[in-house]
């Protein structure tokens, strides 16, 4: 089994053989972007498209797509996945419905850009398929269907019977499911690599191997020199805690995945899954799965969720216990794949704000902007965030700059050891809740509700 090496997605296409030149020394720019992941690259793309004469510089510590953009589960969802009521409390229901519509449109926007720029990212239009395996999960699933309908997504969402789930995919003990249309499967490393190349063709400059040490109004200090710019956009997502002054803004929550070898036709004949749906269970400590282009299964979940002091993984290497848990999930949901083992395991981090709700914004006085806190749904969300950052940087008043996540600020996470204790306790409670729901066949467990309340998740 290969462990780490950034991710399986890079094992699929190969890590960059050479890196882009680092910052050559002190320079000036119109816009400096910190982070060459999806958010930073989309912001650069739209800036160059709307204002081709701008000098846009993207600064990246490793290589473009090194972080979550090249490690995620490949779910291009176009959904508003955070607490709708928290946005509605300040901006009203109609504004949240408008935000949901804009997010829904990101899937078509990404696909259109890939077609226009000849980016082959294994994109396949499909559906999300959530399945339930006990009564508590079924109740949660029905609540999800009703929630989607309440917030303007009834046209995308429908409940499935056990028989309808079985027609699509063989999941032991599935009692029913929920399907959400308008999504796409992607190979994320292919997408971020292609986007970086498109950004360069458009005229922006990406400097890799350039670590940002600090930034403030008008200036970014790196280990290779200074960038002077009136607009500075922070697009570091799960890596934000590594920047001075931002240690408690968003915690880096760990998410890990495994990938099987290519499974033979006889195994796929038993599993089904011909629609390559994005599959997840309705457990409290849920998993997310993909059927890849060449016929592998990837399974992702939180594993060991958070390292003390917001520490990061080493080159995407998960711990042995996380790999064991993910393998257990793979065998439980796809027993036909069990004899073939696991070929690759990797991990990365996602950015989580204290209220678990994403934000994007720009302080006009300082020229400092930010976007992130996607809580695991960044593939499509980063597109809208990048477009919004571009409009804000250009001083435009548009439909998307008035959405309820714009310039929304939340309180910081607690100091250690309290945030470590809180996050780990939450996931302990979620796993306890799942075991009780499996064993007792009860309504959704209060252990999960308490765990979510403890950390502000719901």
pLDDT per residue as tens digits for the range 38-70: 999 999 999 999 999 999 999 999 999 999 999
Angle CA 159–282–276, to nearest 5: 70
Contacts of 116 (CB under 8 A, 6+ apart): none
What pLDDT shows up at residue 305? 86
Q: Which of 106, 19, 24, 97 is nearest to 64 (CA)?
A: 19
Quote the pTM value. Answer: 0.97
Is 386 strand, coil or helix? helix
3-state secondary structure of 406: strand
Instruction: Tell me what pLDDT residue 292 has.
Output: 98
Rounded CA-CA distance 314/318 in Å is: 8
Residue 69 is given by DSSP the state G
Cβ neighbour number for residue 3 with a 10 Å cutoff: 17
Distance CA 208, CA 205 (A): 10
Q: Is the pLDDT of residue 444 over 90?
A: no
Give the containing element (helix H, strand E) for 128.
strand 124-132
What residues pair up with 344 in beta bridges, in sequence order? 2, 259
Residue bearing the bigger pLDDT, 441 or 444: 444
Contact between residue 84 and residue 356 where contact means Cβ atoms under 8 Å apart:
no
Q: What is the pLDDT of residues 174-217, one digit of tens each?
A: 999 999 999 999 999 999 999 999 999 999 999 999 999 999 99
pLDDT value of position 450: 84
DSSP label of 354: T
pLDDT tens figures, 311-341: 988 999 999 999 999 999 999 999 999 999 9
Contact at 8 Å (CB) between 404 and 90? Answer: yes
The percentage of residues in the chain with a pLDDT greater than 90, rounded to a whole number, is 92
pLDDT higher than 80, residue 5 = yes
* The pair of three-digit structure tokens given for residue 40, joined into one six-digit string: 């930073």
Query: Residue 380: which of 58, 45, 49, 69 has the closest Cα?
Result: 69
């Amino acid at each position: 089994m290969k462990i780490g090496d950034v991710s399986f997605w890079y094992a699929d296409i190969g890590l960059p053989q050479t890196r882009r030149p680092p910052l050559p020394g002190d320079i000036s720019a119109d816009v400096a972007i910190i982070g060459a992941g999806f958010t930073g690259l989309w912001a650069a793309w739209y800036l160059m498209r709307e204002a081709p004469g701008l000098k846009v510089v993207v600064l990246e510590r490793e290589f473009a797509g090194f972080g979550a953009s090249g490690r995620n589960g490949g779910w291009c969802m176009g959904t508003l996945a955070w607490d709708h009521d928290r946005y509605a409390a300040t901006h009203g229901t109609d504004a949240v419905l408008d935000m949901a519509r804009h997010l829904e449109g990101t899937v078509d926007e990404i696909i259109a850009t890939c077609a226009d720029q000849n980016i082959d990212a294994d994109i396949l239009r499909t559906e999300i398929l959530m399945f339930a395996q006990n009564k508590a999960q079924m109740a949660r699933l029905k609540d999800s269907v009703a929630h989607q309908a309440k917030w303007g997504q009834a046209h995308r969402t429908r409940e499935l019977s056990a028989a309808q789930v079985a027609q699509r995919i063989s999941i032991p003990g599935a009692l029913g499911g929920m399907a959400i249309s308008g999504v796409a499967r992607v190979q994320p490393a292919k997408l971020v690599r292609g986007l970086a190349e498109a950004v360069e063709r458009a005229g922006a400059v990406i400097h890799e191997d350039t670590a940002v040490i600090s930034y403030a109004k008008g200036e970014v200090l790196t280990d290779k020199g200074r960038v002077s710019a009136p607009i500075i956009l922070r697009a570091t997502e799960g890596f934000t805690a590594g920047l001075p002054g931002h240690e408690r803004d968003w915690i880096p929550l760990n998410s890990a995945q495994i990938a099987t070898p290519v499974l033979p036709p006889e195994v796929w004949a038993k599993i089904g899954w011909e629609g390559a749906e994005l599959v997840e269970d309705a457990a409290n400590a849920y998993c997310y799965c993909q059927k890849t282009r060449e016929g592998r299964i990837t399974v992702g979940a939180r594993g060991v969720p958070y390292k003390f002091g917001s520490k990061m993984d080493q080159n995407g290497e998960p711990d042995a216990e996380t790999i064991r848990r993910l393998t257990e999930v793979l065998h439980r949901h796809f027993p036909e794949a069990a004899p073939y083992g696991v070929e690759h395991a990797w991990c990365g981090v996602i950015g989580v704000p204290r209220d678990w709700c994403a934000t994007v914004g720009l302080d006009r006085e300082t020229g400092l902007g930010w976007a992130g806190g996607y809580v695991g749904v960044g593939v499509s969300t980063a597109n809208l965030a990048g477009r919004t950052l571009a409009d804000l940087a250009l001083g435009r008043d548009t439909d998307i700059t008035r959405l309820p996540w714009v310039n929304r600020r939340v309180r910081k996470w607690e100091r250690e050891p309290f945030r470590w204790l809180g996050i780990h306790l939450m996931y302990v409670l979620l796993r306890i809740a799942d075991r009780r729901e499996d064993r007792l066949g009860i309504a959704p467990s209060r252990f999960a509700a308490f765990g979510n309340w403890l950390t502000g998740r719901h």
